[in-house]
Structure 1
Amino acid sequence: MDRLEAMSILLAAVEAGSFSAASRKLGVPLPTISRKVGELEAHLKTRLLIRSTRKLTLTDAGADYVAACKRILEQVGDAETQASGEYSAPRGELILTAPIVFGRLHVVPTVTAFLAAFPDIDVRMVLSDRNANLVDDHIDMAVRIGALPDSSMVATRVGSVRRVVCGSPAYFAAHGTPKTLDDLADLTSVTFAGLGTSWTFPSQSRGKAAKSVQPRCRLSINMAEAAIDAAIEGIGLTQVLSYQVARAVAGGKLRIVLEDFEPAPMPVHLIHAGQGRLPLKMRRFLEFAVPRLRQSLMDAAP
């Protein structure tokens, strides 16, 4: 029996919650998953898991053994990584994730320049507006927009973005330009589901609650780029993040309004798990990407 393989399968089953989920995750037949865990229990002469139709539950001995498996597999991974030279030379695969539009506009240009500078490093990028779990999804680094929850993640701030209200010059010419939040009641909107259908603005007076405004929604879309396209066509105002409309504003297709009522800018961070010594590929990417992302955000600010 390959004990490291069996440990990995056991750990995958526990993290996935079932043998079938572990089978799908690992691409290993379900009977093999069950057999490997059974062999491990026979070797240890103790029961590690209580199996039911819905979930797996660790026994006390199983909980202790799984915790030890995690430590052992991490140490083996570190040893293999160091032996392959990843800590002494910048090489290997770097896995990154970023929001879709932000990644396309700011991260991809940085990554392409990084690849040209470091030919022994390959990058796999996952562009998604879902915040993936870096440890569970085996991701090296991620771009996060907004306040970060307290966690063990190490964060480097690269800038900030605003939540803005904008519309086309033609729309304002036909319907008037809003000067106050009350003016929004007479206008129409294109809502982006990612930011919600109700627009919330901070109070202009200390001690008063934030104000929620609901312009008449003519169109609700689940993608920011589509909402922006509709706003350019004059369907109504839209509220999105400043980097998403920077080019449209610079090109005169959209105008930002109600800037005095905007919420505080949201920070943008590059984060990583920060567990142990960073491989050289990650250290080099941080050194390379942070100043470039900062400059990219400054240059694109509308």
Structure 2
Amino acid sequence: MDRLNAMATFINVVESASFSGAARRLEIGQPAVSKTIAQLEERLGLRLLLRSTRGLTPTEAGQRFYERALRAIEEADEAERSARDAGTGLSGPLRVCAAVTFTRIRILPYLKPFLDMHPQLSLDIVLDDRHIDMLEEGIDVALRMGSLSDSGMTARKIAQNPRSVLGTPAYFAQHGVPATPADLSCHNAVIYGQTGSSWEFRRGSTEVSVAVNGRIKVNAAEGVRAAVLADMGLAISSEWMFEPELASGALQRVLTEWQLPAMDLWAVYPGGRMASAKARAFIAYVEELLSA
């Protein structure tokens, strides 16, 4: 018995809830479908399907087998695509999800060389600061910043960026430059929802936690940028988010002798799926781009 063929047949039976529906999907006769399932159950020594008023439904063992079989078929399909890609180059769409501001500043302006290297490849980039459901949204790979909470995903850290306390020269001219982390309690902080209002600093063996106050709290990095660049307060941020302004001098770092936890960047793939050749190539390019 061809095991992959049997798995594919079983998957189609579960998804169509009938032998006849699977037969139509596979464009084969219904007896062939029934025979394949019977042989599969005999091989495994398990009943995989039950008849009910809704048609055929998987048993508990059948549901587990369905999930593993689906994964095996996906990986086999990806292995074939990877082999073809090795000979013909990357092609087709790649759906990527990433944070809005980070991608706008550090990724999008530098993608042309990658696209030039792979003229048959297209990028569908979903800009979203939230951790969206990758399977539901059809995402091939996501770039996520900070700590990861979803243990069902496959992730690899690909870059790290320092975080600093940042503000404009005009803000510091009006409110003064903080000399110690404790001074921040007297400043206007632009609070990013993901960062919170408690900031952790370290210098050597000394660790300090500071509760900051601010009249502006936003849930997106674009809002932090707008408020800080409008001289409304200082913020703690990865330097990726303000790279152009730091380079031009429009923004200043303060408390540079103190260290803040760095910002990690992760390549995240949907749980249980093999990363495609396209996704791996894209992540390798991003990793090289950020290390330059």
Give yes or no for TM over 0.5: yes
Q: Which of 248, 258, 282 lines up with 2:279 in the alignment?
A: 282
Contact 1:190 1:236 in 2 (8 A): yes
Q: What secondary structure sits across from 1:202 in the alignment?
A: strand
1:151–1:72 Cα change, 3 Å: closer
CA apart distance, 1:214: 1.9
1:272–1:174 Cα change, 3 Å: same
Mapped pair 1:46 → 2:43: no
Mapped pair 1:228 → 2:225: yes
Which whole-Å deviations, capped at 9, do the CAs of 1:232-267 have from their partners, x for residues lacking one? Answer: 222222222211112122222221111223313222
- Alignment-derived partner of residue 212 in structure 2: 214
CA apart distance, 1:101: 1.1
Distance in 2 separating the partners of 1:49 and 1:146 = 48
AA of the residue aligned to 1:214: V
- Alignment-derived partner of residue 261 in structure 1: 258
1:45–1:291 Cα change, 3 Å: closer
Distance in 1 separating the partners of 2:13 and 2:218 = 41
AA of the residue aligned to 2:178: P
Distance in 1 separating the partners of 2:49 and 2:14 = 15
CA apart distance, 1:209: 6.3
Distance in 2 separating the partners of 1:276 and 1:230 = 40
AA of the residue aligned to 2:50: T
Which whole-Å deviations, capped at 9, do the CAs of 1:198-243 have from their partners, x for residues lacking one? Answer: 132235574x76413223x122222222222222222222222211
Structure 2 gap segments, 5+ residues each: 1-6, 22-33, 35-47
Q: C-alpha root-mean-square deviation of aligned residues, in Å?
A: 3.7
Distance in 2 separating the partners of 1:145 and 1:75 = 30
Q: What secondary structure sits across from 2:160 in the alignment?
A: strand
CA apart distance, 1:174: 1.8
CA apart distance, 1:63: 2.6
Identity %: 24
- Alignment-derived partner of residue 161 in structure 2: 161
Distance in 2 separating the partners of 1:241 and 1:193 = 14
Structure 1 gap segments, 5+ residues each: 12-35, 51-58, 296-302
CA apart distance, 1:275: 5.9
Q: What secondary structure sits across from 1:226 in the alignment?
A: helix
Mapped pair 1:243 → 2:240: yes
CA apart distance, 1:148: 4.8
Which whole-Å deviations, capped at 9, do the CAs of 1:36-81 have from their partners, x for residues lacking one? Answer: 44778xx87625899xxxxxxxx9x533222222233334444545
AA of the residue aligned to 1:199: S
Distance in 2 separating the partners of 1:110 and 1:292 = 8
AA of the residue aligned to 2:246: V
Contact 1:152 1:273 in 2 (8 A): yes
In terms of Rg, which structure is larger? 2
CA apart distance, 1:177: 0.8
Distance in 1 separating the partners of 2:145 and 2:12 = 33
Distance in 2 separating the partners of 1:185 and 1:94 = 45
- Alignment-derived partner of residue 64 in structure 1: 61
Contact 1:85 1:91 in 2 (8 A): no
Distance in 2 separating the partners of 1:136 and 1:165 = 37
Contact 1:145 1:267 in 2 (8 A): yes
AA of the residue aligned to 1:213: A
- Alignment-derived partner of residue 191 in structure 2: 191
Judge which range, 167-176 or 265-274, deviates more: 265-274
Give TM-score scaled by structure 2 length.
Answer: 0.70
Contact 1:110 1:289 in 2 (8 A): no
Q: Matched residue pairs, number? A: 255
Contact 1:145 1:268 in 2 (8 A): yes
AA of the residue aligned to 1:65: G
